[in-house]
Structures are given as C-alpha cells and as structure tokens.
C-alpha cells in the first residue's frame, strides 16, 4: 500500500507535476510481483481521477468524501478501501454504528469495498470498540450474503 498522508495538501496541477511521477516510480517497483497495489492518501477528492489512472487494484479513501461519491468520480472502476472516520471511534456506539452503516451502504456503489478506517487509530481508542466494530462489520457482511 502506498500511503501518502500529505498528498491532499497540494493542488491537482502540483500533484501531477511533483508527486505523480514519484508515485508511478514507486508503483513500478511492484511490477512482476503478485501483490495487490493500493494507493491511499488523505484529502484526495480533487485528484481521484489521477489516482485511478495508476495501475492500482484499489484506492484508499479517507473520511472526507463519501464512498459513493468517490466511486462516481472515478467512473465506478476501482475497488475502494476505508472511509470510516477514526474520530468517531470515541463516539457513543449508536453514533458510530450509524456512521458505519452509512459507509457500508455507500460502499456498495464501488465494484468492491474493503472496510477500513479512513486513517489510523487514535492512541486513546478503547480496543473493545475496535473489537465491537469488527464484529459488527462481519455480522453485516454475513447478513448481506444471505
């Protein structure tokens, strides 16, 4: 996974000129390897089409753009990963559950959705919340297959 926390700080033009060539080079190092290629960046809403043009298997999406919108922008062509807002890990369970339900619903537009956080786990997060979240997502997945 190519992880770029700062990519959202540049304009689309600066991205194409100054960042994309390095991204292409980094991804090229994976040529010939049987590994999934995932590009994740924060604040990528204005450069999603540029990211989708890379040879990647999935695109990581932070919490700032809903998954259905991200998928629409890239023509519903790539699986998406992420989108759960890490800040909500400390919210009451009904608030987090409602957010997760929304993420799961919106993720159905993409060809596939790897459920994940839209960025890392805050250090103060209660591990039991993560356990409950994973169990809830697995239950949702099992129910959707029936």
Strand order in the sheet with 58-61: 2-4, 38-41, 58-61, 80-82, 113-114
Q: Please, which pLDDT band fits residue 145 given cuts at 50, 70 and 90?
A: low
Mean pLDDT computed over every residue of the chain: 95
Residue 140: per-residue pLDDT: 86
Residue with token string 């100054």: 18
Q: Please, which pLDDT band fits residue 24 given cuts at 50, 70 and 90?
A: very high
Mean pLDDT of 62-70: 97
Give the pTM: 0.92
């Amino acid at each position: 996974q190519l992880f770029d926390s700062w990519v959202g700080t540049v304009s689309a033009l600066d991205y194409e000129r100054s960042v994309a060539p390095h991204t292409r080079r980094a991804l090229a190092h994976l040529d010939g390897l049987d590994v999934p290629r995932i590009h994740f960046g924060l604040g990528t809403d204005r450069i999603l089409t540029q990211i989708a043009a890379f040879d990647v298997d999935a695109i990581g999406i932070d919490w700032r753009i809903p998954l259905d919108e991200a998928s629409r922008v890239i023509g519903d062509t790539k699986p998406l990963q992420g989108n759960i807002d890490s800040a909500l890990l400390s919210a009451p369970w009904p608030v987090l559950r409602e957010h997760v339900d929304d993420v799961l619903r919106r993720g159905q537009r993409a060809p596939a959705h790897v459920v994940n956080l839209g960025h890392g786990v805050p250090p103060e997060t209660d591990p039991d919340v993560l356990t409950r979240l994973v169990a809830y997502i697995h239950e949702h997945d099992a129910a959707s297959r029936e």
